[in-house]
Structure 1
Amino acid sequence: MENTMLKKESLISALLGIGLIISFLIIFYLARGYQFDFRKRQIEGTGILVVRSIPDGALIYLNDKKYGATNSSISALSPGRYTLKVEKQGYHHWQREIIIRKELVSEAEALLAPLFPELKPLTYTGVLNPIISPDRQRVLFTAPENGLSSLWLLDIVERPFNLASKPRQLLTDTKEYAYSQSTKQWSPDSREILLKLNTPSLQNKPQITAFTFNVDSKSLQKVGNLEKLEQEWQEETEALQEKNLQNLSQETIARLSTVTNPLWSPDRNAVVYKEITENQVFYKVLDLNPSTALNNQISPSTTPQSIHYKEYNTYQADKAKFTKLVWYPDSKHLIILEKESKEAEKGKLSLIEADGQNKNEFFSGTIKGDYVFPFSNGTKVAILTTFNPETKVYNLYSISLR
Structure 2
Amino acid sequence: MGVICMASCCYNTRMVQSVNKRVFYTALSGVVILLGAIVAIQYAKGNFRVTNAGFRANTGLLSANSFPTGAQVKINGRLVSATDDTLYLEPDTYNVEILKDGYQPWSKQLQISSELVTQTDALLFPIAPSLSTLTFTGAEHLLPSPDGLKILYFTASMSAEQKNGLYVLDLTSSPFPLQKGPRQILADTSGLDLEHAQATWSPDSSEILLTTPNRELLLQADRKNELASLSDVSFRRKQLLAEWEEEMYLRERQFMKEFPKEIVAIATQSAQNAYLSPDKKRLMYTATADLELPSILVPAIPARSTQSETRTLVPGGIYIYDREEDTNFQVATVAVESLELSKQLLADDVFSNTPRTLEASPSAFHTLQATTSAETAHKFARYHSPLFGNSYQWFPDSSHLLYTTDTEVRVVSYDTTNPTTVYSGPLSANFVYPWPDGKRLIILTSFSPSAPANLYAVELE
The residue number in structure 2 matching 1:67 is 80
Q: How does 1:160-175 map to 2 (within 5 A)?
A: 160-161=175-176, 163-175=178-190
Q: How does 1:328-339 map to 2 (within 5 A)?
A: 328-339=395-406
Distance 2:210 2:256 in 1: 31
Structure 2 CA distance for partners of 1:54 and 1:162, relative to 1, 3 Å: farther
User: What code does the residue aligned with 2:428 have?
Assistant: K
The residue number in structure 2 matching 1:343 is none
Distance 1:241 1:176 in 2: 38
Deviation string, structure 1 residues 308-343 (Cα, Å, up to 9, x no partner): xx2211135799xx963221111110111012xxxx
Structure 2 CA distance for partners of 1:247 and 1:163, relative to 1, 3 Å: same
Instruction: Note the residue ranges of structure 1 that are not aligned, 5 or more in a row.
Output: 1-5, 200-208, 294-309, 340-346
Contact 2:49 2:59 in 1 (8 A): no
Structure 2 CA distance for partners of 1:318 and 1:52, relative to 1, 3 Å: farther
User: What code does the residue aligned with 1:381 have?
Assistant: L
The answer to whether residue 422 in structure 2 is matched with residue 362 in structure 1 is yes
**What TM-score does the superposition give when structure 1 sets the normalisation length?**
0.78
Moved more, 328-337 or 255-264: 255-264
User: What code does the residue aligned with 1:108 have?
Assistant: T
The residue number in structure 1 matching 2:204 is 189
The answer to whether residue 443 in structure 2 is matched with residue 383 in structure 1 is yes
Distance 1:281 1:365 in 2: 32
Distance 1:36 1:54 in 2: 29
Q: How does 1:195-344 map to 2 (within 5 A)?
A: 195-199=210-214, 209-216=215-222, 218-219=224-225, 220-223=230-233, 224-257=235-268, 258-274=270-286, 284-290=318-324, 292-293=325-326, 310-316=327-333, 324-339=391-406
Moved more, 28-37 or 360-369: 28-37
Give the counterpart of 1:53 among 39, 61, 66: 66
Contact 1:158 1:379 in 2 (8 A): no
State the aligned residue count.
Answer: 353
Give the counterpart of 1:352 among 404, 412, 417: 412
Distance 1:314 1:360 in 2: 14
Distance 2:137 2:52 in 1: 72
* CA radius of gyration, larger in: 2
Distance 1:396 1:39 in 2: 55
Q: Secondary structure of 1:160's partner?
A: coil
User: What code does the residue aligned with 2:434 have?
Assistant: P
Structure 2 CA distance for partners of 1:216 and 1:272, relative to 1, 3 Å: same
How far is the alpha carbon of 1:254 from its aligned partner?
1.4
User: What code does the residue aligned with 1:289 have?
Assistant: R
Identity of matched residues, %: 27
Distance 1:318 1:222 in 2: 41
Contact 1:211 1:222 in 2 (8 A): yes
The structure with the largest strand share of the pair is 1
Instruction: Note the residue ranges of structure 2 that are not aligned, 5 or more in a row.
Output: 1-16, 290-313, 337-388
How far is the alpha carbon of 1:180 from its aligned partner?
4.2
Q: Secondary structure of 2:154's partner?
A: strand
Contact 1:315 1:356 in 2 (8 A): no
How far is the alpha carbon of 1:376 from its aligned partner?
0.3
Moved more, 52-61 or 329-338: 52-61
Q: Secondary structure of 1:225's partner?
A: helix
The residue number in structure 1 matching 2:452 is 393
Q: Secondary structure of 2:250's partner?
A: helix
Distance 1:137 1:42 in 2: 53
